[in-house]
Each structure stands twice: as C-alpha cells, then as structure tokens.
Amino acid sequence: MRTILLVDDQLQLLGIHRLYLENHGYRVLTAENGERALEMVRRQLPDLILLDHSLPGRTGADIAAELKGDAALRKIPIVMMTAHTYGAVGRRARDAGVDGFLSKPCDPHRVLQEVERYLAA
C-alpha cells in the first residue's frame, strides 16, 4: 500500500482528504505543522507528500527545501497545496524543489488525480 503524508493546519481539510484517499486504497499519514511533518517523513518515508504552504511556524517552502536538501529524502515527490501558485510564493516553492502544485481550495477528486499521477507504477 502506498503511503501519503498530508500536511495542513486546517483539520477539516485533513480529515476530508485523508478519508477520500484512504477510500481509494492509500495509507494516509497527517501532520498539522512543518516540524511534525519532518519527523514523520524521516520515520515513515512516505511515497508522496502533499504539503500546504501556509503552516504555523515554518512555511511549506521551508519544509520542502529541507527535505529536498537531504539526500535520503530528496526523491520523495512533494506537491504544494496553495492558493498562491504564482508570484513570490510559487517562485519560492519552485526554488525549494517542489515537484508540483495543487490550487487551494482542492477538490478531493483533483487531489486523488494528482496523487495517482505521481504514484503511477
């Protein structure tokens, strides 16, 4: 079973996306902030990370840069979920090594499509 780490500080969105992805056969881990996400990535080594940009403390771009800077973790695809895919936020995320973007608000079916695109065998 493929594992996805879903990182967002909006608990309602975490629950919706987690349930939808689990119902489609994925194991879903969740984190509400960047520090917890970093711990989980290092411990669980997910197959894909869905990462919100606007998190308490460090931004999603900061977390992505740290993960992409680690040789053991850099190959894990990171999809940034944000309402700001253009401009400074999008540029920072791309510079951090983010592999793709989902525009918020994200429809659960659209999230599933993106997951399947990155995890296609």
pLDDT single digits (tens) 7-34: 999 999 899 999 999 999 999 999 999 9
pLDDT single digits (tens) 48-58: 999 999 888 88
Q: Are 83 and 104 in contact (CB under 8 A)?
A: yes
Name the residue ranges covered by the structural domains of the chain: 3-119
Percent above pLDDT 70 for the chain: 97
Residue 5, phi then psi, degrees to nearest 5 = -100, 120
Going by the DSSP 8-state scheme, the letter that residue 12 receives in this structure is: H
pTM of the model: 0.93
Q: Are 42 and 74 in contact (CB under 8 A)?
A: no
- For the domain spanning 3-119, the CATH number is 3.40.50.2300
